[in-house]
């Protein structure tokens, strides 16, 4: 702290007196203002234009109002100070020393505050100098991140477009695939129906063929029975060799007459009972016609050789069969 400055009494200077309360200056100012306004003659007012005069009057009134407000403030302060001095009863010299000390203390405090402020300013400046590169680096990184974000947004948009396009293509492919599957399924169903119909038709044909085969077998069996009966009526049985020579089921045509041979030759002594055999044959033939019905071949009537009857060309023991076909014995 610096030493207090010497007062004015020590320096030999006259002590300033406290201003005594003066009368109210507002009436005096208003009186002066009225005198000034009255000094303007009617000739000067007539010479000025009306617009300029109106502006001057308005400006003068504003200034007068401002001056009056300032005078009122000064009067209030003077009255307040006078009342304070009177209420405390302070000595003007003591109050002056106190004011000087307060001013010195305030000045010192102001210096300290200024130094503190300067230190804070320097600290803030150094911090700003240190933070400025970091802020610039942060701004640069922010710009880079912004660019990267924009690129990612663009890539995301492109990926979404590709995804939508791929999804549409996949849907179209699935629709085409389903349509193709439906067409193939319809074709397979049609083929299955056609195959089933063809199978049923073939099965019906097979059944008809089986029926025809059964009928042919029945006919063949009747023919074989008929032939065996012929040999039985003629007094001879078929030998195993003759039975083996008989046509089988698959080798017997319907429209081809058969020729059978007799295992033994007819001798001249058999002509005696030829008439009796013919009579017995007629009886058996009528009975078998009733049983077998009308066959594809007429029942043959054996012609046994009689005494004195002419023999056909060939062997004497030839058996005449339908259709005039002959089968020689031993052939």
Specify if 171 maps to a domain: no
pTM: 0.28
Other Cβ atoms within 10 Å of 33 Cβ, number:
15
Specify if 286 maps to a domain: yes
Specify if 94 maps to a domain: no
Helical pair 50-88 and 26-39, crossing angle rounded to 10 deg: 160
Specify if 148 maps to a domain: no
User: What total of structural domains would you count in the chain?
Assistant: 2
Q: What is the pLDDT of residues 203-234, one digit of tens each?
A: 999 999 999 999 999 999 999 999 888 888 88
Specify if 252 maps to a domain: no
DSSP state of 305: -
pLDDT at 282: 64
* Phi-psi region at 214: left, alpha or beta (left = phi > 0; alpha = psi -120 to 50): alpha
Q: Is pLDDT above 60 for 29?
A: yes
pLDDT at 186: 92
Specify if 73 maps to a domain: yes
Listed ranges 101-115, 185-199, 287-301; the one with the highest mean pLDDT:
185-199
Q: Which of 29-38, 90-99, 271-280 has the lowest mean pLDDT?
A: 271-280
Specify if 223 maps to a domain: no
Rounded CA gap, 95 and 101, in Å?
A: 10
Render 135-176 in DSSP notation, one character per residue.
Answer: HHHHHHHHHHHHHHHHHHHHHHHHHHHHHHHHHHHHHHHHHH
- The parent domain of residue 309 ranges over 269-331
Specify if 215 maps to a domain: no
């Amino acid at each position: 702290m610096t030493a207090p400055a010497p007062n004015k009494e020590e320096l030999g200077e006259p002590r300033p007196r406290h201003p005594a309360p003066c009368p109210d200056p507002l009436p005096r100012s208003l009186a002066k203002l009225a005198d000034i306004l009255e000094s303007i003659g009617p000739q000067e007012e007539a010479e000025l234009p009306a617009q300029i005069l109106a502006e001057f009057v308005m400006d003068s009134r504003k200034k007068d109002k401002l001056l009056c407000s300032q005078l009122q403030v000064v009067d209030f302060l003077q009255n307040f100070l006078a009342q304070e001095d009177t209420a405390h009863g302070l000595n003007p010299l003591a109050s002056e020393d106190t004011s000087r000390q307060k001013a010195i203390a305030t000045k010192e405090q102001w210096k300290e505050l200024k130094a503190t402020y300067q230190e804070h300013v320097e600290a803030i400046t150094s911090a700003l100098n240190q933070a400025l590169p970091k802020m610039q680096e942060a701004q640069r990184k922010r710009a880079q991140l912004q660019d990267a974000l924009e690129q990612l947004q663009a890539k995301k948009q492109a990926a979404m477009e590709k995804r939508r396009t791929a999804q549409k293509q996949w849907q179209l492919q699935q629709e085409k695939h389903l349509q193709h599957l439906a067409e193939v399924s319809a074709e397979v169903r049609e083929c299955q129906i056609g195959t089933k119909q063809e199978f049923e038709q073939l099965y019906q044909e097979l059944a008809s063929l089986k029926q025809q085969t059964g009928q042919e077998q029945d006919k063949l069996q009747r023919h074989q029975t008929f032939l065996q009966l012929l040999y039985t009526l003629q007094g001879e049985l078929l030998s195993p060799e003759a039975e083996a020579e008989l046509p089988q089921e698959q080798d017997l045509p319907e429209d081809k007459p058969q020729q059978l041979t007799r295992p033994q030759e007819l001798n001249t002594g058999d002509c005696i009972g030829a008439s009796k055999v013919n009579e017995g044959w007629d009886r058996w033939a009528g009975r078998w016609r009733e049983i077998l019905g009308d066959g594809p071949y007429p029942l043959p009537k054996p012609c046994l050789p009689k005494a004195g009857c002419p023999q056909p060309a060939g062997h004497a023991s030839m058996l005449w069969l339908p259709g005039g076909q002959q089968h020689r014995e031993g052939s």
